Structure 1
Amino acid sequence: MNHDPLSSATRIVAAGRPSRVPGAAVGPSVEFTSTFVTGGDNAYARFDNPTWRAFEEAIGALEHGSALAFASGMGAIRAAIELVPLGGAVLVPQHSYNGTTALLDKLAEAGRLRVTRADVSDTPAYIDALDHTDLAWVESPTNPMLEVADLPTLFKAARESRVLTVCDNTFATPLLQQPLTLGADVVVHSATKYLSGHSDLIMGVTVTADPQIQQRLHSERTLSGAIAGPMEAWLALRGMRTLHVRFERACANAAELAARLADHPQVEAVRYPGSGAMLAIDVRGGVGAAEAVEQAVQLWLPATSLGGVESMLERRRRHTSEPMTVPENLLRLSVGIEDVEDLWRDLDAALSSSRAS
C-alpha cells in the first residue's frame, strides 16, 4: 500500500498490515522461530523476522525511511555510533540522554573515537563545532533540559561539511517532526517510550533513507546480536496503533500544566519547548524540596522512564551521570493521558507541601 498521501494518524493504523487476501488476519502474527527452511528469503532469525518487518514498515512509514528494530534504544544508539570510523570525532549536545553520553565517553576512553560537546540550541556554536567532526548527534528537545535545535539549519550545515547526522527523535516522536525530511541521515528512537507507550517492553529502532547506511546498520545489528524479540516487536506495533490519540492527549495535558506551573510559587522555572508531552521544572527550595515533591505525589509515579500512558516525574541529578549543568532541583515530567485536573491537584499539593518541608 502507498502510504505517501496518508496523514500520520492514518499511517500508524494502516502500515504494517498483512496482505489483503480472503481469510487473512487483519493484524500480523507473532513469529516464534529461531531458523527457517532453506530456500527462502531468510535463513536465520538473527537476520530477520516477519514480526519485526511489520513494526519496521509502520515506523518507516511515519519517519519516511527504512527502519530496523533493535533489542533496546541503546542497541539502536550503539549501531548508529558504529557508523563513525575508528578514531573519528562525534559532536554531541551538552545535554543529551545520559545513556548516549555514557557510551560515547566509554568509547572515547578506549580510544575508539573522540567526543566534542556543544550547546545544540546555540546554532552558530554547534555549526562551528562541526569542524573536524565525522558524526553530529542531535536531540531536539534535549533530555532533560528541553532545549530546541534549529534542525534544518544544522542538518544543512552538516551535509555541506560532509558530516553524518543522527537525530534522537524519542521525545518529539514522528508526529511532531520527521528529521529525515529535514535533512538528517539517521533517526533513532527508544521504542520503549512513546512508540510502544505502555511501559511494558524494551526496544529501539533506527530509520534511514540511505540504502548504504541501512545495510551498515543491518550488518551491525546482525553481528552484535542486538535483535528484538518477536513478542516485543508485536507489542510495540500494537501500542503504536494508538500513538496519535495518546500523544494528542498527553501534549494537551502538558501544555495546560506548563501554563499553570509558570505561576506556581514553588516553581522557579518551567522548561517547556512549546509542544510535546515532556516538560521540566526547577523546584523552589533546592534538592530537598524537589525530593519532597517526588515523595509527596500520589498519582504521578516517581520513575526514571517516560512516554507511557501514566504520568511520571524524576529528579534527574540523582543520576551521577547527568552533567553538572543540570540543576539539582530539576524535576523532569513525562505527562500522561490522565485527566489533567487530577494531575494538577496531585502536583499542586505535592509542590505546596514541599514548601513546608
Structure 2
Amino acid sequence: MDKKGLKFNTKTIHGGQALEKAYGAVMPPIYQTSTFAQTAPGEHLGYGYARGANPTRTALENSLASLENGTHGFAFGSGMAAIDAVLKLLRPKDEVLCTNDIYGGSYRIFKGIFEHYGITFKFVDLSNPTYIKQHLSTRTKMVWLESPTNPMMQLVDIAGIANAIADKDILLVVDNTFATPYLQRPLDLGADIVMHSATKYLGGHSDVVVGGLIVKETALAERIKFIQNSSGAICGPMDSFLTLRGIKTLHVRMQRHCENAERIAYFLKEHPKVAKVYWPGFAEHPNHHIAKKQMSHFGAMLSFTLQTEAMEHTKKFISRLKLFTLAESLGGVESLVGHPATMSHGSMPEEERLKNGITDNLIRLSVGIEAVEDLLNDLSYALDEND
C-alpha cells in the first residue's frame, strides 16, 4: 500500500513509519545511545554517531515530512534551534522580509544575533501579496511568514506571496506552529521551508521542547542536513519519542481545540468587558477570506483586549482564572493564558510592540481540550469580578 496517498488522520499514525526491524515494536523504540557499532572502518548499518542521525529521531523526521507533504524532515532541540538553522542558509548582506507581527523569540534572534552578522531584517505589512513588491531588492534572499501571526492573528496569503516571488531566487519560509499541518500545509501553497515549534501542538502535552523543519527540494534538504549535523542542535531520542507519540493524536486534539476556541471567541466577542477579540474565524477579521481559503478551520489561538487599558485590571483578570494557567508556550491539552507584552514579546522594544497592537491589556489564550463549559465559566468568573 502506498502511504503517500493516506488521509491526514491516518498519516498522523502511520505516515513515514516503518515496521521496527528487531522485534516488530508498534511504536519506534527509544534508541538511547550516542554511537553505533561499525562493521568495518567507515561502514555501519545506517547509523554511525547520534548527532548525525538516530533511529528514533528518524521516525519523527519522517512523520513531520509526511504531515506537511514534504520529502525531508529535520528535528531540532527547540523551535529556536530550527530557526537558527534556517538563518544559517543566509550570507552577510542578505536581506529577509518578515511579517510585521511576529513571535518575540523570532524577532530576538533576528535582531539580537543574526543582524550582527550583516543580515538585514525588514518587518513589513504583507497582508496583501502585492505589497511585497515594493520591499524587494537584489539583496532579498528570504521571506519569513507567520499565518496566523503571533499574537494578533493576522493572516497572510501564502500562495499569493509564493507567486509574487516565484521568479526570484528567494526562499519562502512559513512558521506553521499556530495552524499545524492539520489546518494548513504551506508547502502545498508554494513555501520552500515549513518551520514548527513542535513543543506546541505537535507534541501537544507540554512535556517536550522540540523544533522541526520540512522541505520538498532535495538540494535544500542537503544544505539543512549539513547545518543540522555541523551545528548539532538536534532533538534527543526521548523527546523524539514523546513528540511522535503526541503527533498520533494531533487530529483528534486539534478538532476539539478548534471547537472550544470557536465557542470561546464568540463568548468573548459578546462580553461587555471585552473590547476586541482577534480570531480568524470572524467574518470581519482582516483577511478572513484568506483563512477560509488556506485553512480547514480557524485554529485554537486567540487574543483579546479588555475595555480597560490599565495593567492592574489585566493582572487582576488573569489572577482570577483557575483553569487557564498563566504560563509560557501554547498548544498543549491544557488551556493557557499569556500576557504577550511581558511574556512572548517581552524582549521586543516597546515601540515595536505598540506599533503592532501588543498593548498592556492584550491577553492571549491557548484554548485546550477541556470541557468548554468549564472554560467558559472560568472566563466568565474572571471577567465579571474584574472591577
**What's the TM-score once normalised by structure 2's chain length?**
0.89
Greater alpha carbon shift after TM alignment, 143-152 vs 321-330: 321-330
Post-superposition offset of 1:273: 1.0
Query: Which one-letter code corresponds to 2:318 in the other structure?
Result: E
Residues 314/124 of structure 1: CA separation in 2 closer, same or farther (3 Å cut): same
Aligned pairs for 1:301-316 within 5 A: 301-316=325-340
Alignment of 1:83-232 (within 5 A): 83-132=89-138, 133-232=140-239
Cα pair 1:152 1:183 within 8 Å, conserved: yes
Shift of 1:42: 2.5
2:80 to 74, 82, 104: 74
Alpha-carbon displacement from aligned partner over 1:42-96 (angstroms, at most 9, x marks no partner): 3211100000111111111110111000010000011111111222001111111
Amino acid at match of 1:93: T
The aligned residue for residue 62 of structure 1 is: 67
Quote the offset at 1:267 in angstroms.
0.6
Which residue is 1:331 aligned to?
363
* Range with bigger deviation, 325-334 or 226-235: 325-334
Displacement of 1:108: 4.9
Q: Distance in 2 between matches of 1:190 and 1:55?
A: 14
The 3-state SS of whatever aligns with 1:95 is coil
Deviation of the 1:23 alpha carbon: 5.2
2:306 corresponds to which of 252, 261, 283: 283
What is the match of residue 26 of structure 1? 26
Q: Retained in 1: the 8 A contact 2:304–2:362?
A: yes
Say if 2:57 is the partner of 1:52: yes
What letter matches 1:5 in structure 2?
A: G
Deviation at 1:260, TM superposition (A): 1.2
Q: CA deviation at 1:120?
A: 2.6
Shift, 1:122, TM fit:
3.5
Task: Identify if the C-alpha distance between structure 1 residues 299 and 27 changes in structure 2 by more than 3 Å, giving closer, same or farther.
Answer: same
Residue segments in structure 1 that go unaligned for 5+ positions in a row = none
3-state SS of the aligned residue for 2:81?
Answer: helix
Query: CA shift at 1:16, angstroms?
Result: 4.3
Task: Give the 3 Å change call, closer, same or farther, for CA 27–18 of structure 1 in structure 2.
Answer: farther
Counterpart secondary structure, 1:134: strand
Point out the more displaced range, 8-17 or 340-349.
Answer: 8-17
Amino acid paired to 1:53? T
- 1:348 and 2:380 correspond: yes
Instruction: Flag as ranges the 4+ runs of structure 1 deviating above 6 A.
Output: none
Q: Alignment partner for residue 295 of structure 1, among 299, 304, 319?
A: 319
TM-score between both structures, scaled by the size of structure 1: 0.96
Aligned-pair CA distance for 1:33 = 1.0
Equivalent residues of 1:107, 1:113 under 8 A apart: no
- The amino acid across from 1:346 in the alignment is D
Post-superposition Cα deviations, 1:267-290, rounded to whole Å, max 9, x if no partner, equal 100000121010000111112222
In structure 1, distance between residues paired with 2:340 and 2:133? 28
Amino-acid identity (%): 39
